[in-house]
């Protein structure tokens, strides 16, 4: 079974994209970064992954230029680079696709265009202004499909209040 | 190292989406199906993966309702279900993101809205009619970033002529 992470002979941009973000957990880590999670401990609590896997994934994301690390070993913060922020349309489309298939009670999270105070469409467009807002202009809040009983870690709790994407999430411990 | 394929405790549509399509090779198989590849042999030639991995991935895709198999063991054809076709916006966004980062000579493949004969924008919109065309209305052709010397398998050769997505690809052997 092929367990490498490259697709060397595939002459396709999708293969290159998957080499960067196709490893297990990587997209969920980036999703959390869009939601404003920045610290190792917070990512670990919210994702329930081992320290070893999280360390490896974060290190790869920094190496490939998708995350930037600032601060020291203990209090370091990871933030998305411009290249990673450009991944938002794909991330949003995947979330919407997952929702259509596996969220019968409706979306778990609702995305709205903050300046227009309007929920954006599945296409990513704001029905009020007609633009496709960049992630920094989007607010998230829990939708009817959210089930607060599933998780009670501090990151999940912080995400129950409406939040602007990319803004640091105030995690209470 | 966690090598499972589920993200049981992640209450997020992205996690559900990745459970269905996050395994290595799965998105490249679905990409080929969008391009009109339908037969096991053609998928194998184009993707250079082992029979075992391809068999396992196809079987999972059929089980999760993303591919339909018709015909017998030897001459079976795999086609995308409606649920899989709904993945197109995410697929397109990932291809475009890969292109921006790793295709300095320009796109490897150009997507145009067939009825308008207009190349679509990175957002997926057709600049002529303003809609976001569904994949069945899109034509692909090689772009300036394509390098015909990389691959010479029959699927790669067939994809050098302009093709409508989702239409069966005539593979010459």
Over residues A123-172, the pLDDT tens digits come to 999 999 999 999 999 999 999 998 888 888 999 999 999 999 999 999 98
For residues B96 and B56, membership in a common domain is answered with no
Q: What is residue B109's predicted lDDT score, i.e. its pLDDT?
A: 94
Q: What is residue A95's predicted lDDT score, i.e. its pLDDT?
A: 95
Residues of chain B neighbouring A156 (CB-CB closer than 8 A): 11
Which of B9, B17, B30 is the best mutation test for A, with the most CBs of A within 10 A? B17
SS3 B154: helix
Q: Last residue of some domain: B84, B106, B134?
A: B84
Q: Residues with Cβ < 8 Å from A16, sequence gap 6 or more? A: A7, B98, B101, B102, B103
For residues B77 and B128, membership in a common domain is answered with no
* B57 vs B49: CA distance, rounded Å: 11
SS (HEC) of B142-153 = ECCCCCCCCCCC
Q: What is residue B9's predicted lDDT score, i.e. its pLDDT?
A: 77
For residues B102 and B64, membership in a common domain is answered with no
For residues A67 and A107, membership in a common domain is answered with no
For residues A96 and A139, membership in a common domain is answered with yes
Q: What is residue A81's predicted lDDT score, i.e. its pLDDT?
A: 98
Q: Last residue of some domain: A40, A63, A84?
A: A84
For residues A93 and A53, membership in a common domain is answered with no
Residue B87, class by beta-carbon neighbours within 10 Å (0-12 exposed, 13-18 middle, 19+ buried)? buried
Q: In this structure, are residues B2 and A24 in contact, taking their beta carbons and an 8 Å threshold?
A: yes
Give the count of beta carbons closer than 10 Å to the beta carbon of residue B79: 15
Task: Give the Cα-Cα-Cα angle A103, A132, B112 (nearest 5 degrees).
Answer: 95
Q: What range does the domain containing B54 cover?
A: 13-84
For residues A58 and A106, membership in a common domain is answered with no
Q: Last residue of some domain: B40, B65, B84?
A: B84
Q: Residues with Cβ < 8 Å from A77, sequence gap 6 or more? A: A38, A39, A69, A70, A71, A168
Q: What's the structural domain count of chain B?
A: 2
- Provide the pairing of β-strand A138-142 with B77-80: unpaired
Which of A1, A8, A9, A18 is the best mutation test for B, with the most CBs of B within 10 A? A18
Q: What is the ipTM of this complex?
A: 0.92
B40 versus B173: the higher-pLDDT residue is B40
Cα distances (angstroms) measured from residue B30 to each of A3, A27, A156, B90, B94: 19, 19, 33, 12, 13
Average pLDDT of chain B is: 92
For residues A107 and A76, membership in a common domain is answered with no
Tell me how close the Cα of A116 comes to any Cα of chain B, in angstroms.
Answer: 20
The neighbouring-strand residues paired with A121 are none
Residue-wise pLDDT tens digits, B84-142: 999 999 999 999 999 998 888 899 999 999 999 999 999 999 999 999 999 999 999 99
For residues B21 and B56, membership in a common domain is answered with yes
Q: State whether residue A22 sits within 8 Å of chain B by CB.
A: yes
Tell me how close the Cα of B67 comes to any Cα of chain A, in angstroms.
Answer: 15
CATH of the domain at A57: 1.10.10.10
Q: What is residue A56's predicted lDDT score, i.e. its pLDDT?
A: 95
Average pLDDT of chain A is: 92
Q: pLDDT tier at B3 (50, 70, 90 boundaries)? A: very low
For residues B127 and B160, membership in a common domain is answered with yes
pLDDT at A3 over 70: no
Q: Is residue A172 assigned to a domain?
A: no
Contact B95 A151 (CB under 8 A): no
For residues A105 and A136, membership in a common domain is answered with yes
């Amino acid at each position: 079974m092929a367990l490498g992470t490259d697709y060397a002979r595939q002459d396709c941009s999708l293969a290159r994209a998957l080499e960067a973000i196709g490893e297990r957990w990587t997209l969920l880590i980036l999703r959390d970064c869009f939601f404003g999670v920045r610290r190792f401990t917070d990512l670990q609590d919210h994702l329930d992954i081992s320290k070893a896997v999280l360390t490896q994934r974060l290190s790869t994301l920094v190496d490939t230029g998708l995350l930037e690390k600032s601060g020291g070993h203990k209090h370091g913060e990871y933030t998305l680079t411009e290249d990673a922020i450009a991944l938002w349309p794909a991330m949003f489309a995947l979330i919407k696709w997952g929702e259509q298939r596996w969220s019968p009670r409706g979306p778990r999270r609702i995305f709205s265009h903050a300046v227009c105070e309007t929920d954006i469409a599945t296409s990513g467009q704001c029905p009020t202004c007609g633009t496709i807002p960049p992630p920094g202009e989007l607010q998230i809040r829990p939708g009817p499909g959210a089930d607060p009983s599933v998780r009670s870690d501090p990151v999940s709790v912080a995400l129950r209040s409406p939040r602007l994407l990319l803004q640091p999430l105030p995690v209470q411990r």
